[in-house]
Amino acid sequence: MKRFLVIALLLSGTVCFAADDLSKQATAFYSDNNYQKTMDLILQIPEEKRSAQDWLLLGNILDDKGERDNAVFMYQKAINTDSKYYKAYYNLANNYLENEQYNMALQNYKKASRLNDENPYVFYNMACAYMKLGDLKKAKTCLNKAIMYKSDVPEFHYNLAYVYKQLNKPKLAQTYLDNFNKLSQAQ
């Protein structure tokens, strides 16, 4: 019995190491835009051994292929694997935003922002969802947060100029439009 237990522990440790190794290789291939190899490697990992990032990468690949429902499923698997993995909430929210499901997008952006409150793109995309819903005051707040964390993104300033224009604040709108023009010329 002792030998069996030791052998079983060794084998499970080897599988775990192999899963970690496959996951690292898949991430490297994903960084090189080799999505087929990424998918092939992750699919070799048993489902119960896949990390939240593995599920996220599968979701991203499927989303890029236009398989949105399957991507949502993968993002939810990432969240089920690690409920504190903000990137899964963020990518799930992006999927909902693209599909004009603005309230679902906001729900997930809020979760992502609670887990990582310094990512400017979470706030920028949240602002876009609020703009689509016509809640310009919340959009303004989110855009200001985005700019606070990353002030050199022209689109942040452009959208804030738009929001201020819609809120009938032409001087502030012009200020942010000027910022947009300066940043755009600098790139």
* Interval 39-87: pLDDT, tens: 999 999 999 999 999 999 999 999 999 999 999 999 999 999 999 999 9
What residues contact residue 74 under an 8 Å CB cut-off, 6+ apart? 55, 56, 58, 59, 62
pTM: 0.86
Structure tokens at 97: 């935003």
Contact by Cβ (8 Å): 93, 85: no
pLDDT in tens, 72-129: 999 999 999 999 999 999 999 999 999 999 999 999 999 999 999 999 999 999 999 9
* Confidence band for 18, pLDDT divided at 50, 70 and 90: confident
